[in-house]
Each structure stands twice: as structure tokens, then as C-alpha cells.
Amino acid sequence: MGIEKNFTLGTAIKITTILSLNNPNSVKITIKDDSEIVKIDNVSMTGDTPNVFSYIYQSLEEDSEGEYEVTIKATYGSYVALSKQYFTLEE
């Protein structure tokens, strides 16, 4: 599951991921804008079910337009799984 592609600056964006395994030790999210500026870094996501996690990112009207990169890191003991999603902010 991903996120809708385009959003207006200043809107809240719900980012959801579905993991193939249940009950990870942690699921963290990092968001960077198109200039590689980190907006949030290694923040815990909310566990909606044992394998579905979400995070609501509140964009600001002052944020830059462009494509944002979302990195989700799930940790199971010593195993780390990474996934990427993208969305665009525009006026």
C-alpha cells in the first residue's frame, strides 16, 4: 500500500505501509524533500494492526514544492527491511 501521489502544501498526508511479517521490533519513518532536506528523521510509526503501520505528516504551506522521499525502516531483531515511497507537494 502506498500513498496518493499529489498533495497541496499545508495538508496532512497519511503514509501507510503493510509489512509481510507481523510484530516488528520497530517501524521508523524518515521524510526528505526534493533538496534532500530532512523533514522528519527516524520517527516511530503507529501500529494499526500487527503488520500495518501509519504516520500522519503535516506539511506546511511554507514547505518547498516538489517530490518528497519517504523511507520506512522495519526492524526484526538484527534484520532490517527498507522501503521507499514518494509523493509530490504543490500549491
Q: Flag whether 67 is in a domain.
A: yes
Looking up residue 58, the CATH number of its domain turns out to be 2.60.40.1220
What Cα–Cα distance (Å) separates residue 4 from each residue in 1, 7, 8, 87? Answer: 10, 8, 12, 7
Residue 1 has pLDDT above 70, yes or no: no
Structural domain includes residue 41: yes
- Does 1 fall in a domain? no
Count of the separate structural domains present in the chain: 1
Are the beta carbons of 36 and 53 closer than 8 angstroms? no
Model confidence over 48-80: pLDDT tens digits? Answer: 999 999 999 999 999 999 999 999 999 999 999
pTM (global) more than 0.95: no
Q: Which residues pair with residue 40 across a beta bridge?
A: 31
Find the mean pLDDT for residues 2-18.
89
Does residue 69 form part of some domain? yes
Does 39 map to a domain?
Answer: yes
The domain containing residue 38 runs over which residues?
A: 6-90
Sign of the torsion angle spanned by Cα atoms 84, 44, 31, 79:
negative
- Give the DSSP letter string of 45-80: PEEEETTEEEEEEE--TTSPPEEEEEEEEEEETTEE
